Amino acid sequence: MAGGADNAPALEGRRRGLAGLIPGSRKRSRDLALIWLFLAPSLAIFAIYRIVPLIWNAVLSFQFWSPYKPAEFAGLYHYEEMLFYDDAFWQTLWNTLIFMASAPVGIVFALAVALLVDTNIRGRNVYRTIFFMSYPVMTVAVGIIWQWLFNENVGLINYVLIELGIIDRGIPFLESFDWALPSVILASIWQVIGFYMIILLTGLQSIPPSLYEAAAIDGANALQRFRRITLPLIRPSLFLCFVVGIINSFTAFDLIFVMTGGGPGHATDLLITYIYSIAFRLSKFDYAAAITVVNFLLFLALAFLANRLAGGEAGAVKTGG
Amino acid sequence: MGWLKNRFVYTFGGIALAILAWNVWVVLNDDGIIRGEVVSASGAPVEGATVKLTERTLLVARPRGETLTDADGRFTFTGHDLHHLFLEASKEGAGHAGPLEVRLYFKGENVNLHTPLRLDGTT
Amino acid sequence: MSRYPHWPIHLALSIASAAMLVPFYWVLKTSLTGENIFTFPPSLLPESPHIFYYVDVWYAIPFLRYLFNSIIVSVIVVVANVVLNAMAGYALTRDFPGKGATILLFLSCMMIPFQVTIIPAYLITSEMGLLNSYVGMALPLASTIVCIFVFKAAFEAIPKSLIDAARIDGVPDWMIVFRIILPLTKPAIATNVILSFIWSWNSFLWPLVIVRDAQMQTLPLGLARFLSVVEDTTGALYAFCVMVLVPGLIIFLLAQKEFITGLTSGATKG
Amino acid sequence: MRKLAIALAAGAATLAMTLHPGSASAQEKKITVMTWNIPYFTEGFDKWVAAFKKVHPDFEVERIDMKGTELPTFYQTQVVAGTPPDIVDVQGGLWLQYASQGGLKNLDPYLERDKDYTDRINPQILDNWKYEGHHYGVPLYISKTLLFLNRNMMKEAGITEDPTSFDEIMADAEKMTGGENTGFMTLNFDWLYWPLFAMNGVEFVGDDGKAAFNTPEAVALVKRLADLTEKGVINKISWTGRWVEPNGAFAAGNVGMLHAHAPAFLWFKSKADWVNDESVGAMNMPGGWSTPNSHSLVLSEGSKWPEEAWDFMKIATSGDGAYAMGTGTNNLTGDMQVNEKLMGYFKENLPAVVPILETQLQDLDKLTGNWPFAQDAAIKDAFYPELQAALLGEKSAEDALSEAERKVNRILQRR
């Protein structure tokens, strides 16, 4: 997916993109050294803060260990516990899937907004700003704000619903088994929707207008143009949105931590909050590690599934051009 | 100097100016003086009433001072360092007034209370 | 698309915007009036607003200290992100053995939630002697994968002919970087600045575990700390929320022009 | 663009300069004390430090205060890194996990050695922190549950006698229910609701160490509670709220009885003008059952200065130090002599809390919900959601209790 016009002079030959533009690239080996040098700091950071911890978790998941005791081999004990005895694990897994499945709702809404602000109406930048404004809000604060909006007695949402005559008395949204998860999801969508919108807008703007013009000449109506041109061409952006949606199920940690603490019961526990409470509240780091490994594999599988649906564009996750 | 003319400079410069102005105002008005008056149920100034000053923060409430009114029924506290306080007045035989909540914009703000503490006449 | 009347679009967008803004309004209103948790219905307009909750908060916690700490950490993160992501993003535009594996590695890393890495990450940070320091707080966020791809896309979009032409004209390489490449990737830089700023400004759990000294706390920690003290005093709590949000929003609103163009116009139109 | 270049260069320079090595070596003479959400308790803490420095002038004392939700995370990370805070203030069953895994120092040798300290501490209270025959904590401040009565509502409903049994509580609650009013409410975090079960003869575990709560009596009780909740006699918040919500609802004045721990009183008193010692009655639950919710100080196994830390613990939990704790947080302590002095202080300064605090020293043999399970939190997590579902009518009592029994037994035998 390397872009740019490929009319390079012969001396830089096979290389693409910006290759060969930086001094000292005459020799292939020096070139490679430079590439790895450039990658090194980022790779080091990911190694320290992502890969090593993941390996640590993977090793731990086959052991009995706590901060106070030396490790002992446990075989598949924790995996057995998780898969066959831990109902809470299955519930939190289910909740996580629901949470991720709600991402498309947000994405569809964001796409609608993006299509609207992609027109040449006045004040489109103001709308864009408003829609993005909730994303920079600190998640802890989002939790606090929405906790009160959802409050049974003085919450704005209940007030509006009562005034509209939809309900007679306040619903304790965050304390109810049925409503707690949808409520948390709503708050989460509110926060992340601006981010989706911006990503999609990027994709929309990279579509050459000439394509639409050609389609219009061919007599395609708006819906046909959307299905034949817009959707296929914003697939990379949609893929990125899905990835953000998946990741959102662990960045929502702060939100759930503040709003419900996972309750009532495990109604709003996601895998990530469950792992956290097993590790730090129950001091079962070994068991938490096993769930972490499963969690990672699951998410990875979902990401690659999303990638396949997006047409294998993962390497070219792009937000510009 | 053209590079100075952008919205970043304007915004942060504006904020800095506002902070400066506010601090000058604070320095000029933070002697911690509270002036007020105690009157009887009928509205006459009361001499020798005890006025109690209580500090209030988000965490604590504790007594911070006491004074007596003068012949005109006026009282003055000086040198307080509070921003949220309560005043209560009482005099044997003339009753009780307050507590009156006083909130200030900064610690030790000088304040003249316009409404007097009116004793309720109970004994 | 100008064939359509604009007012339905405005109507739809206005309603949606209003819905998005309600929480902001609510937090601001409550910070000015307080909220009696026993009264129903809640008043929609602020009744006798005052700013004393802000005064209470100001004196209850060392706000400036927290703000200062947050700013330092964010500045480190933002600078590191722009530099390191640009480097990595550039490297990924090149062909080299192991490129596919590297990209795969980056994408997999995105799937590891930070919360589960706390203990090993803490041990490593401790080994590096960076506990309780600004750099220690900033390091995990010093390079972010999404932003690497933003740079990669931006670099790929620079027409190579432009640079070759400059080189043929005898323009020195450093000038090519500063005169051609940087201006063309300005939107990508703005994107990096804003996103990394948001992420570090809001980071909560990591500072929580590695900061021990009360003097090193950042704003989100202060907010959580404050939440526990005044769990029931909504006015003051919301006032603090506003105080925490405002610096971030100011930065965002000031930088959003470049950011929105950065993400939307794409590097091709630079 | 030169501007940008300069900015980048300056940024890189700052980055390089801030890359300095971290804090000094851990072997300095310092003990760290971590308190549980009492940031306002500063004067008293300074007194502790002053008293400690008289004994150990060359030591520094570091204080960390953490909220309950964050304290375990922070503590465990520090334990893994080998730098645990020496002394930790813990609530509920948290200490059990640490103690059962060998993370806390057994205090028996210290308690046996320092008899003059140990004799001051009420043994029944001290035994709250006993696990497998050893003591792991000393009481910092004590509290347990009691029944608050809204006398105004009782009067309106024509109730003149305080209830003396579970049935009477529920009957009175029913009388007070109507409109916005609900008759009864309880706190539910930790095991605070368990006295309701204990007074009906339900036991949590039997002598065989297995779950014993799945009995016909318990099923009938859960059904009854669920039914009363459905009818609004028991306020729903009882099973859903944390502590702000139920206490706030009681403060609103339309809940007849509240089963809560002692500190709740000052909280709702500060929220509502109608609360005083006449309008709110306080009594022990019929039968004397209550769940303690006391705080204790424990000593980390990884402490580098256990002797000095122990000295600090003694200062904080007895004599003048305990008195400072009591007056600073309006609680009683484990030191019985100090408690007498404290009661004098409260009679003088805060007479409204005296009747409440008096209950705190009664019926100390009827404590329940303080079982020394190594996996206390896991058991709570397994049990409460099931019970909650049954109480809110999401599940039948039979199903919920047998499900809970299965889960609890699984945890009890799991390693």
- For residue A69, report the phi and psi dihedrals to the nearest 5 degrees: -125, 150
pLDDT of residue B72: 86
Q: Inter-chain contact D40–B3, Cβ cutoff 8 Å?
A: no
Identify which of A219, A181, A209 has the alpha carbon closest to the alpha carbon of residue A91: A181
CATH number of D30-143+293-363: 3.40.190.10
Which residue of chain B is at minimal alpha-carbon distance from C230?
B58
- For residue D370, report the phi and psi dihedrals to the nearest 5 degrees: -120, 40
CATH number of A77-316: 1.10.3720.10
Q: Inter-chain contact D381–A282, Cβ cutoff 8 Å?
A: yes
DSSP D161: S
Identify which of A265, A261, A268, A270 has the alpha carbon closest to the alpha carbon of residue D395: A265
The shortest C-alpha distance from B4 to chain C (Å) reads 15
Rounded Cα distance, A291 and A88, in Å? 12
pLDDT of residue A230: 85
Q: Which of B8, B59, B107 sits opposite C229 (nearest CB)?
A: B59
Rounded Cα distance, A284 and C196, in Å? 33
pLDDT of residue C38: 56
Rounded Cα distance, D264 and D277, in Å? 14
pLDDT of residue C36: 61
pLDDT of residue A316: 45
Which residue of chain C is at minimal alpha-carbon distance from B9?
C254
Chains C+B touching (3+ CB pairs under 8 Å): yes
Identify which of C141, C143, C136, C135 has the alpha carbon closest to the alpha carbon of residue C83: C143
List Cα–Cα distances, A208 to A125, A205, A226, C270, in angstroms: 20, 8, 14, 15
For chain C, the first-to-last Cα distance in angstroms comes to 24
Q: Using a CB-CB distance cutoff of 8 angstroms, which residues of chain A are in contact with residue C157?
A: 3-4, 320-321
pLDDT of residue A10: 37
Rounded Cα distance, B102 and B86, in Å? 6
Q: Which residues partner with B103 through β-bridges?
A: B84
A-C Cβ pairs (cutoff 8 Å, strict): 340
Q: Which of D18, D81, D252 sits opposite C135 (nearest CB)?
A: D18
List Cα–Cα distances, C58 to A142, C2, C62, C243, D394, in angstroms: 21, 51, 7, 9, 45
Beta-carbon count within 10 A of D347 CB:
12
The shortest C-alpha distance from C48 to chain B (Å) reads 14
Q: Which of C48, C55, C194, C197 to mutate to test the interface with B (most CBs of B within 10 A)?
A: C55
pLDDT of residue C233: 62
Q: Using a CB-CB distance cutoff of 8 angstroms, which residues of chain D are in contact with residue B3?
A: 3
Burial class (CB in 10 A: 0-12, 13-18, 19+), C128: middle
pLDDT of residue A186: 93
Q: Find the chain A residues whose C-beta atoms sit closer than 8 A to any C-beta of D.
A: 64, 66-69, 81, 85, 87-88, 172, 175-177, 257, 261, 263-266, 277, 279-284
Q: Is the dihedral of CA C152, C158, C161, C162 positive or negative?
A: negative
pLDDT of residue A11: 36
Q: Average pLDDT per run of 10 along chain D, which is 415 residues long?
A: 50 45 57 89 92 94 86 87 90 88 92 94 92 94 93 91 92 90 90 93 89 93 94 88 81 91 86 84 92 94 93 94 92 93 90 89 89 88 90 91 92 80
| Per-residue pLDDT at C11 exceeds 70 | yes
| HSE-CB of D350 using CA atoms within 13 angstroms | 20
Higher pLDDT, C177 or C137: C137
Q: Inter-chain contact C59–B103, Cβ cutoff 8 Å?
A: no
For C236, the enclosing helix (H) or strand (E) is helix C234-264
Q: Which of D76, D240, D381 sits opposite A280 (nearest CB)?
A: D76
The predicted-structure confidence for A126-147, as pLDDT tens digits, reads as follows 888 888 888 888 888 888 889 8
Number of domains making up chain C: 1
Average pLDDT over residues C77-85: 94
The reply to whether C4 touches chain D by the CB within 8 Å rule is no
The predicted-structure confidence for A291-313, as pLDDT tens digits, reads as follows 999 988 988 888 888 777 766 55
Lowest-confidence segment of A26-35, A55-64, B77-86, D81-90 by average pLDDT? A26-35
Distance of CA A203 to the CA centre of its chain: 17
- Bridge-based pairing of strands B34-39 and B74-77 is antiparallel
pLDDT of residue C259: 67
The predicted-structure confidence for C39-65, as pLDDT tens digits, reads as follows 666 677 777 888 888 988 888 888 889
Rounded Cα distance, A289 and A266, in Å? 19
Q: Inter-chain contact C245–A155, Cβ cutoff 8 Å?
A: no
pTM: 0.83
Considering just the CA atoms, what is the radius of gyration of chain A in Å?
A: 24
| Per-residue pLDDT at A15 exceeds 60 | no
Give the domain CATH number at C170. Answer: 1.10.3720.10
* List of E strands, D41-157: 60-66, 87-91, 130-131, 134-135, 137-141, 145-150
The predicted-structure confidence for B45-90, as pLDDT tens digits, reads as follows 888 888 888 887 766 667 788 888 888 888 888 888 888 888 888 8
Averaged confidence pLDDT in chain D = 88
Q: Inter-chain contact C223–A140, Cβ cutoff 8 Å?
A: yes
The reply to whether B8 touches chain D by the CB within 8 Å rule is no
Rounded Cα distance, B47 and A269, in Å? 65
Q: Inter-chain contact C208–D73, Cβ cutoff 8 Å?
A: yes
DSSP A12: G
Distant-in-sequence, close-in-space partners of D46: CB < 8 Å, separation ≥ 6: none
Rounded Cα distance, A15 and D328, in Å? 73
Identify which of A12, D8, A38 has the alpha carbon closest to the alpha carbon of residue C178: D8
Which residue of chain D is at minimal alpha-carbon distance from A169?
D180
* Percent of residues, chain A, with pLDDT higher than 70: 88
Q: Using a CB-CB distance cutoff of 8 angstroms, which residues of chain C are in contact with residue D80?
A: 119, 122-123
Higher pLDDT, D360 or C255: D360
pLDDT of residue A243: 80
Q: Inter-chain contact A46–C139, Cβ cutoff 8 Å?
A: no
List Cα–Cα distances, D386 to A96, A125, A175, B22, D397, in angstroms: 21, 51, 15, 57, 9
The CATH H-level (homologous superfamily) assignment of domain D145-291+375-413 is Periplasmic binding protein-like II (3.40.190.10)
Q: Using a CB-CB distance cutoff of 8 angstroms, which residues of chain C are in contact with residue B8?
A: 254
CATH number of B31-118: 2.60.40.1120
Does residue A136 have a cis bond before it (omega within 30 degrees)?
Answer: no
Chains A+B touching (3+ CB pairs under 8 Å): no
Burial class (CB in 10 A: 0-12, 13-18, 19+), D26: exposed
Domain span at residue C123 reads: 46-269
Rounded to the nearest 10 degrees, the angle between the axes of helix C219-229 and helix C52-60 is 110
Q: Inter-chain contact B3–D3, Cβ cutoff 8 Å?
A: yes
The reply to whether D389 touches chain A by the CB within 8 Å rule is yes
Rounded Cα distance, A253 and A259, in Å? 10
- Bridge-based pairing of strands D87-91 and D295-299 is antiparallel
CB A271 within 8 A of CB A96: yes
Q: Using a CB-CB distance cutoff of 8 angstroms, which residues of chain C are in contact with residue D12?
A: 79, 83
pLDDT of residue C262: 58
Q: Inter-chain contact A282–D97, Cβ cutoff 8 Å?
A: yes
Q: Which residue has the tokens 């007596």?
A: B68
Q: Inter-chain contact C17–A127, Cβ cutoff 8 Å?
A: yes
Q: Inter-chain contact C55–B84, Cβ cutoff 8 Å?
A: yes
Rounded Cα distance, D321 and D138, in Å? 13
Q: Which of C2, C44, C94 to mutate to test the interface with A (most CBs of A within 10 A)?
A: C94
Neighbouring subunits of C (3+ Cβ pairs under 8 A): A, B, D
The reply to whether D180 touches chain A by the CB within 8 Å rule is no
pLDDT of residue C50: 85
Q: Inter-chain contact C56–B58, Cβ cutoff 8 Å?
A: yes
Q: Inter-chain contact B107–C59, Cβ cutoff 8 Å?
A: yes
Domain ranges of chain D: 30-143+293-363, 145-291+375-413
CB B23 within 8 A of CB B61: no
- For residue D337, report the phi and psi dihedrals to the nearest 5 degrees: -65, -45
Averaged confidence pLDDT in chain A = 81
Average pLDDT over residues C187-193: 81
The predicted-structure confidence for D92-133, as pLDDT tens digits, reads as follows 888 998 998 888 999 999 999 999 999 999 999 999 999 999
Rounded Cα distance, A271 and A97, in Å? 9
CB D375 within 8 A of CB D356: no
Range 9-48 of D in CB contact (< 8 A) with A: none
Which residue of chain D is at minimal alpha-carbon distance from A178?
D394
| Per-residue pLDDT at C81 exceeds 60 | yes
